Structure formats: C-alpha cells, structure tokens
Structure 1
Amino acid sequence: MYKEDRLPQNAKEGIIFLLVVSIISVNTIAPIIMVIERGFSIQNYFETLKIIQFMWIIVVMLVRLVAGPLVGRMMPKFVGQTDGFNARVLLNILLNVTVLSILLTIIGTWVGTKHISLEPFQHFFYSWFRNFGVAFWIELLVAQPIARFVMKKIHASQTSHERILSN
C-alpha cells in the first residue's frame, strides 16, 4: 500500500498496529461468539477470559505467519491503481477476516473445548458464517478504526516533533 498516515510506516508501527487490532479483536469477538453459542452468564464469561490469552497468541501467530502473507499475495490481484484508501482497507479487512475466521472457527473450537475433535468440521458452515459476521463488523467498525486512529496520532506526533527540531 502507498504511504498513508493512518497505516504503519515501519516494523515498530506494524507491531503497534497489530497489537491494537488483535487485543481489541480477541477481547470482543471471542466473548460475543461465546455469548451467541452458550448464552450470557458470569460463568461463561469467566471461561472466555481463561482462554483469551491463548487465543490472542494464536491470532497473532496466524496473522503474521498465514493471513498476512496470503493476503499480501492476494491484494495485488484485486486492487487497481485507481482504488482509493477506503477500498483497499475494506478489501484487506475482508480478506484477512475470511482467512482468519476459517482457521479460527476450527482452532478456536479446539482451544475452547480443550480437545481436538471433528466437531468444528461438522458444524463448520453454520459456525463460520456467524464467526465471520461477528469478526468482520468488529474489525470494520471498532478494531481497525481505532488502530488507524492510533497510527494517525503517532504520525502527527512525529511530524510536530520534527517541526520543533527543525526550528
């Protein structure tokens, strides 16, 4: 993607962006899915809290090792020269959420139930559509806008700091 102050410009900012998105996503998507699956209760909420740290590690690894590289190869096939920032961001979110929701529909079930079984495959399409919908809207309306806001603030701070130094 071209240089944009709402996106990371270097590896350090990339890590900050990933941390903001992943922490928001794991702390909202997992509890929402658990509420939809099991209903809301304090016990279910505490069960979700017990697995969130493991899910966060899994999400970060999947983003860095699977979804990021795969989406990075797919984006140029779909993005045109004249496509604007919002179109690129929307496509990026769509592709990332698709890849991650497919993988996490399976892996998340295994982590949540604490055993590997065929269960996530037996109910895959029902679960995946629901999980995709929850994740897509959280990413689109909450996690990504907050992370882009953080990037914009970081870049504005760097710009004002550079102006002060140059005077």
Structure 2
Amino acid sequence: MQQEKRLPRNPKEGLLYGTLISTMTVLFMTSFSTIYFAGTFNGDIAFSILKMVPIMWIIVMIIEPAIFGRLAEALTAKFTKPTDSFNSKILFRILFTVLGMSAAMTFLGDLVGNGYHTEIFSNWLQYWPRNFLIVLAAESLVIQPIARFVMVKMHDIQDKKALASIAG
C-alpha cells in the first residue's frame, strides 16, 4: 500500500511538519501585526518582532498540539467521511485549527505585545475576524503547501534510499 507522502509518517516527522507550519505562521503574523499597528517598518520594529517571535512560537508549539490540533482532528473526523478526499480533509483541518488558533493567538498576542489592558477584549472582537481570514488564506495557499512539499521531498529521498538498500 502506498503511504501518503504529503503528511508526516511518524512523530519525528510530525514534529518537523508542525515546526515548519508554526514557524512560518508565527513569523508572518507577528510581523504583520506589529508592522500593521506601528504603521511603519524600521529597526526598532524589526527588533520588537525579533523579541516577540520566540515567545509566540513557544506558545503556539504548546497550545496547537495540546488543544487546538486535537479539537481540529475531532471536528474534521465529525465533518468528513473516510472516503472523502485528502484535500477536503486537509481544508477542514486547516479551517478548524486556524479558527481556534487565531482566536487564542489574537488574545495572547495582544497580551504578550501590550500587557494586560482594559481594551484587550474589545481589541479581540475587533481584530480576530481579520486575523482569522489572513491566517486562513496564508495557511491554505502558502504555508501548508510549503510544509507538504517538504514532506513529499523528504519521503522521496527516504523511498529512494529504501529501494537502493533493497536492490543493492
């Protein structure tokens, strides 16, 4: 049986896959949000982004697999059938993951970037829909395809090595 080449095959590959997606998303959204609110880009803004990226990345690497990844898997299983296509399952998984993660990270990003303040909940209501749509588009069109491309190339290399060891 042909294994799926676009997704991780074991926990080590799963960590790589998740790390690629999380890193690209955190870099993109932290940069976007910081530049958007500053209204400009300069050395101070770049330094601010560099300081915030590791914190946001750690938060994402904890809450995605512990909470939102599990919820997304359960919801995807509920809304799809085993016979549904790879693309439909992936799109549901992306939708549910981005829904939860964008909600949490809009709140946590404001908290990490600005500390606790009285407008934190009204800011969340104002900025979450925008963040959700931006991340949904980025994940669906750029970030996830890049991560799946890496998986395909890695599996191609592994498959060639396995064939060579069998033949040789």
Give the TM-score, by structure 1 length.
0.93
Pick closer, same or farther for the CA change 1:73–1:3 going to 2, 3 Å. farther
Give the C-alpha shift of residue 3 in structure 1: 4.7
Runs ≥4 residues deviating over 4 A? none
Stretches of structure 1 lacking an aligned partner (at least 5 in a row): none
Q: Which moved more, 1:141-150 or 1:119-128?
A: 119-128
Give the C-alpha shift of residue 46 in structure 1: 2.0
- SS of alignment partner, residue 99 of structure 2: helix
Name the residue aligned to 1:138: 138
- SS of alignment partner, residue 104 of structure 2: helix
- SS of alignment partner, residue 123 of structure 1: helix
Structure 2 counterparts to residues 98-137 of structure 1, below 5 A: 98-113=99-114, 115-137=115-137
Quick check: 2:30–2:52 contact (8 Å CA) kept in 1?
no
Structure 2 counterparts to residues 68-83 of structure 1, below 5 A: 68-83=69-84
When the two structures are aligned, how many residues end up with a matched partner? 165
Name the residue aligned to 1:35: 35
Quick check: 1:29–1:138 contact (8 Å CA) kept in 2?
no
- Percent identical residues: 34
- Return the alpha-carbon distance in structure 2 between the equivalents of residues 57 and 87 of structure 1: 29
Quick check: 2:102–2:135 contact (8 Å CA) kept in 1?
yes
Quick check: 1:105–1:128 contact (8 Å CA) kept in 2?
yes
Give the C-alpha shift of residue 54 in structure 1: 0.3
Stretches of structure 2 lacking an aligned partner (at least 5 in a row): none
Name the residue aligned to 2:20: 20
Name the residue aligned to 2:50: 49
- Return the alpha-carbon distance in structure 1 between the equivalents of residues 61 and 118 of structure 2: 24
CA-atom RMSD in angstroms:
1.5
Give the TM-score, by structure 2 length.
0.92
Higher relative contact order (CA closer than 8 Å, sequence separation 6+): 1
